[in-house]
């Protein structure tokens, strides 16, 4: 289908040990891409790679801390040596820290911005030249509904995701004549291990069923009261990598069940 042109394309996916990153890696691998899964969680990475390879895909892994410039430079060298120049870059690595602005630890603010925004910039900076040499590339930044709307106590996360959209647009303009497209995907709540833990915690806190947490608390602003499945993000990535999307560039593709209609 959409990803039929991905045979032997080299895809680098950050934050790929679980959740959205792993789902994206599985979708790309299923369409023939050679996937390099990047994460800081080494044990989880090994399990994810084994899962993809056991299903007939091609996957390997590189442990890297996306908050460290030296790790990103090492990642680029190792990808070139082990896979060849990357054709596809999925900037997905992220974390969440919840705190009021008054009490937000500055070191934690820096950590989140370094991983989610600076890390995405450095990955783009390192991998884009190789794509330009080939005359083809796809860079997809996994943003969030919080690239459009804000939530209290998530100032660093919201700032990073808003910044990621600015990076997406700027990179798209600079890469447009090089055969590279740069886009973002902004989903609302996705059914990931992190979100599942949040649901469980909220259910205990409010003494209500988990289903009610999803409908009445987490998805209160979302007309479609359903969590998004990680595979939906993977399929969207496949579309953006396909010939059908070659003129989609610099966009923030929102998957929010109607959250931002008004």
Torsion of CA 161, 261, 246, 28, to 10 degrees: 60
Q: Alpha helix (H) ranges present in 176-260?
A: 193-206, 210-212, 230-241
Give Cα 167 to chain centroid, integer Å.
14
| Long-range CB contact pairs, 77-80, < 8 A, 24+ | 79/10, 79/12, 79/36, 79/127, 80/130
CA distance 16 to 27: 12
Query: Is 189 annotated in the active site?
Result: no
Torsion of CA 90, 92, 93, 98, to 10 degrees: 160
Q: Which of 2, 127, 157, 189 is catalytic?
A: 157
CA distance 232 to 194: 17
CA distance 144 to 184: 9
CA neighbor of 82 nearest in space, from 62, 65, 112: 62
Non-local (6+) Cβ contacts of 170 within 8 A are none
Catalytic (active-site) positions: 157
């Amino acid at each position: 289908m959409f990803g039929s042109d991905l045979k032997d394309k080299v895809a680098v996916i950050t934050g790929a040990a679980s959740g959205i990153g792993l789902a994206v890696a599985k979708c790309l691998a299923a369409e023939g891409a050679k996937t390099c899964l990047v994460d800081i969680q080494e044990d989880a990475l090994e399990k994810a790679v084994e899962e993809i390879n056991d299903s007939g895909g091609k996957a390997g892994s590189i442990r890297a801390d996306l908050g460290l410039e030296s790790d990103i430079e090492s990642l680029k060298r190792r990808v070139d040596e082990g896979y060849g120049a990357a054709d596809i870059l999925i900037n997905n690595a992220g974390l969440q820290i919840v705190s009021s602005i008054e009490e937000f630890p500055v070191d934690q603010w820096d950590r989140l911005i370094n991983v989610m925004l600076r890390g995405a910039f450095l990955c783009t900076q390192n991998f884009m030249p190789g794509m330009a040499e080939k005359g083809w590339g796809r860079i997809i930044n996994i943003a969030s509904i919080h690239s459009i709307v804000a939530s209290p106590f998530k100032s660093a996360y919201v700032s990073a995701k808003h910044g990621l959209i600015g990076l997406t647009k700027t990179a798209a303009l600079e890469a447009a004549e090089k055969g590279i497209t740069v886009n973002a995907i902004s989903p609302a709540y996705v059914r990931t291990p992190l979100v599942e833990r949040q649901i469980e915690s909220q259910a205990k806190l409010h003494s209500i069923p988990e289903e009610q947490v999803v409908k009445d608390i987490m998805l209160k602003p979302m007309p479609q009261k359903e969590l998004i499945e990680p595979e939906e993000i993977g399929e969207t990535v496949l579309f953006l990598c396909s010939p059908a999307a070659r003129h989609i560039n610099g966009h923030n593709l929102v998957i929010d069940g109607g959250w931002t209609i008004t």
